[in-house]
Amino acid sequence: MLIKSDVQQIKQRYGIIGNSPALNSAIDVALQVAPTDLSVLVVGESGVGKEIFPQIIHQNSPRKHGQYIAVNCGAIPDGTIDSELFGHEKGSFTGALSDRKGYFEVADGGTVFLDEVGELPIPTQARLLRVLETGEFIKVGSSKVLKTNVRIVAATNVNLTQAVAAGKFREDLYYRLSTVPILVPPLRERSNDIVSLFRKFAADCAEKYRMPPIHLDDAARQLLISYRWPGNVRELKNITERISIIEESRDITAEILRSYLPDINVEKFPVLLKNESEHKVFNNEREILYQVLFDMKNDVNELKKLVHEIMSGNVQMSVDDDTCSKPHPHPHPHAHNIDSSTTIQEVEPVEEETLSLEEVEKDMIRKALEKHNGRRKNAAADLKISERTLYRKIKEYNLE
């Protein structure tokens, strides 16, 4: 059993955050198995942090000066995967203009990381089993048996035993690959690590964009810990980055955090806020925009009602706009005379108003810039957002 300080050292070296027993034990297993040639299968849900394990294993093994090749089995088309992994001979298929070495030949003496190994097609699984058992392989289009000395680390976020039961994954290959399994636990099972991970991602983001890091208040911290994190560390990282960039305030409340968590986001619209005082705490651009949208929608409904009443002759119009108050010299073919002094043009059917937040936002920014003759400082003040946010949005929407 390795002493604890080795695991801590590895965490520091690879930037791994967290101190939960399950994570420490996964790193411990990786370090113990590294010096051997045993195959390792890293298992865990998507986003838990599997990718670092094959690197730890390779770099702490006698193969560390050999090649390390990471292959995403799910990203290579079925038709070319054999050629990618094992190489091909010139002329073996259309487009095979010359001989090509495969990863297993290139990585001779090193390590191949087979990510998403559950995605390998069945014929490739047979070839892989042969390499694992005898070190032998045959290039596509060749009959010559070649030898290689490659260490395999594989990873999967699907349940391979289920894939075996469904006939999608060879049982013998599964046992051969999982000689040493490393289980990376889901984030919800290491809740003591969630806040440290958040702090790390917030600090990284602050450094990258040269701004102060965001902080959570007590309620927000509780919410962060109790959320299920179906996308695990990747989801936590993405959300922390999004909040850091989008939110003006560096003090993040549970209210703000909730609006970024998809599964429990129930308060989508400000109309759902319970009382007046809550309306006053709109410190979030999104809520302000929702409010603008709702106000606009109400205005449009008022207008529709008014137009309807005018059309049915219930309202006497008193219009002071010049273009409407005088009979038009060339009346529009669809113009109606409502009374002797008023002509209005037939109203086009009102289109379903857009609820695209992005369009409304773009429009508001454009109007503010026009109003202030392009002076961003004034436009930002009018929009009640920072100049930095305005600058970012101008870039994002290409409004320059």
Give min distance, CB of 311 to ligand ATP, in A: 58
| Binding residues with ligand ATP: total (CB under 6 A) | 17
CB closer to Mg ion out of 51 and 267: 51
Residue choice 233, 243, 257, 293 for contact with ligand ATP (CB under 6 A):
233
Residue choice 37, 51, 99, 363 for contact with Mg ion (CB under 5 A):
51
Give min distance, CB of 268 to ligand ATP, in A: 28
Count CB atoms within 10 A of the CB of residue 51: 14
CB closer to ligand ATP out of 140 and 184: 184
Give min distance, CB of 217 to Mg ion, in A: 33
Stretch that binds ligand ATP, among 76-84, 233-241, 270-278, 322-330 (CB under 6 A): 233-241
Query: Is 203 near ligand ATP (CB under 6 A)?
Result: no
Contact 254, 223 (CB under 8 A): yes
Give min distance, CB of 17 to ligand ATP, in A: 4
Report the interhelical angle of 357-371 vs 387-396 (nearest 10°).
Answer: 120
Residue 48 interacting partner from Mg ion, ligand ATP, none (CB closer than 5 to 8 Å by kind): ligand ATP
Query: Is 48 near ligand ATP (CB under 6 A)?
Result: yes
CB closer to ligand ATP out of 57 and 293: 57
Which phi and psi (to 5°) does residue 145 adopt? -85, 125
Query: Is 190 near ligand ATP (CB under 6 A)?
Result: no
Give min distance, CB of 50 to Mg ion, in A: 5
Which are the contacts of 342, defined by CB distance < 8 A and separation ≥ 6? 317, 319, 324, 325
* Residue 318 tokens, joined: 């008193």
Query: Is 234 near ligand ATP (CB under 6 A)?
Result: yes
CB closer to ligand ATP out of 116 and 287: 116
Question: What separation in angstroms does the CA of 221 have from each of 31, 48, 56?
Answer: 33, 20, 31
- Spatial strand order of the sheet with 180-183 comes to 68-72, 111-115, 151-156, 40-43, 180-183
* Residue 373 tokens, joined: 């003759």
Query: Is 44 near ligand ATP (CB under 6 A)?
Result: yes
The rounded distance, in Å, linking the Cα atoms of 84 and 93 is: 13
In the range 53-72, which residues lie near Mg ion by CB under 5 A? none
Using CB under 6 A, list all residues that contact ligand ATP.
Answer: 15-18, 44, 46-52, 157, 197, 233-234, 237
- Give contact residues for Mg ion (rule: CB under 5 A): 51
